[in-house]
Amino acid sequence: MSLQRTVAELGVLIYPGAQMAAVHGLTDLFGVANRIAAEHQAAQLPLLRVSHWQVTGDLPPTRVYDSHPAPEQSLVAILIPPSIAGFTEGQAPPSLFHWLREQHASGATLGGVCVGSILLAESGLLDGRSATTHWTSAKGFAERYPAIKLKAETPIVDDGDLITTAGLMAWSELGLRLVDRLLGPSIATGTARFLVVEHSDSASECGSNFSPILSHGDAAILKVQHWLQSTGATEVSLSVMAQRAGLEERTFLRRFRAATGLKPTEYCQHLRVGKAREMLEFTNGTIDHIAWTVGYQDPSAFRATFRKITGLAPSDYRSRFGVGAGQS
């Protein structure tokens, strides 16, 4: 293994009642992905370092397992597994929610499975955002968290920095989504094939779903990114983004591209198309309505941008990857 290989640390949370099968399953999934990446001799890809974080009493989570012990570094993502017992008020201490907010503010992507989505909701991070949860919790979720746009019929809502899934076994798709982001769609597909689990092939055929770079360390730019994710980047301008960052426009442009690898306009296009892909896969709304929902007043401009990013027309994308694809 090259000494120059970068490391991406993924934290898996262990809270009271957490499904340990998911904790260990995610650990194994990332281990398989590492092995497949090594077999491809992909030294340019990061090594996935998996750590477990135990919630004990009123203390913040502490690391209790590390797949590749090394000096501490920022977490790229935190995954919150499900709980078969369901959610009970007081299941997690306030210190956990404070820790989750701190990690998110530092650039970590947070993913919640089933009850994990509820813990994210309890932290307040999902307010104003879209999310999903297990169907048995949907009614109570909607009543308890009215500020969250619940999509109970959608199995996974990938909102860039916050990902929620609905099924108890959806931890595998969440894990594969992160493998796709960090190691690429071919490694994710190979991992799914080895484990014999389902995985959408839209990423391998049309490019990964939009996965913004969040761990760059520029707090002003990260603040704007979180805002863009929460608003869907539907009505934004360079001046408004620069103002949000507290920077002069030229400085903002330079720092935004340095941090994210994209111009602000390109970033917003990818974000909007990512949301459109989800809607095309899981809803039956018209393409013109989807275009309007994700911020395009001109449907033809939406179609052109969608094809440019994915290589497919929106109608072809839906027929290939929509929930009814392949059904007679």
Domain boundaries, the chain: 7-206, 219-321
Q: Has domain 219-321 been given CATH number 1.25.60.10?
A: no
Q: In this predicted model, what pLDDT tens digit does every residue of 235-251 receive, in sequence order?
A: 889 999 999 999 999 99
Half-sphere exposure of 310 (CA within 13 A, CB side): 31
- Mean pLDDT across 302-326: 87
Residue 1 predicted with pLDDT over 90: no
Half-sphere exposure of 63 (CA within 13 A, CB side): 18
For residues 276-285, average pLDDT: 88
d(CA 232, CA 328): 34
Global pTM value: 0.82
User: What's the mean pLDDT when you consider all of the chain?
Assistant: 90
Closest CA to 164 of 143, 134, 140: 134
Q: Which CATH architecture has domain 7-206?
A: 3-Layer(aba) Sandwich (3.40)
Tell me the C-alpha distance between 18 and 85, whole Å: 9
Asked if 145 contacts 112 with a C-beta cutoff of 8 angstroms, the reply is no
State residue 328's pLDDT score.
35
- The mean pLDDT value for 262-291 works out to 92
Lowest mean pLDDT among 7-11, 153-157, 224-228: 153-157
Distances (CA, A) of 278 to 4, 237, 303: 36, 24, 15
Contact criterion met (CB below 8 Å) for 165 and 150: no
Round to whole Å and give the CA distance between 44 and 183.
9
Reported as a pLDDT band with limits 50, 70 and 90, residue 86 is: confident
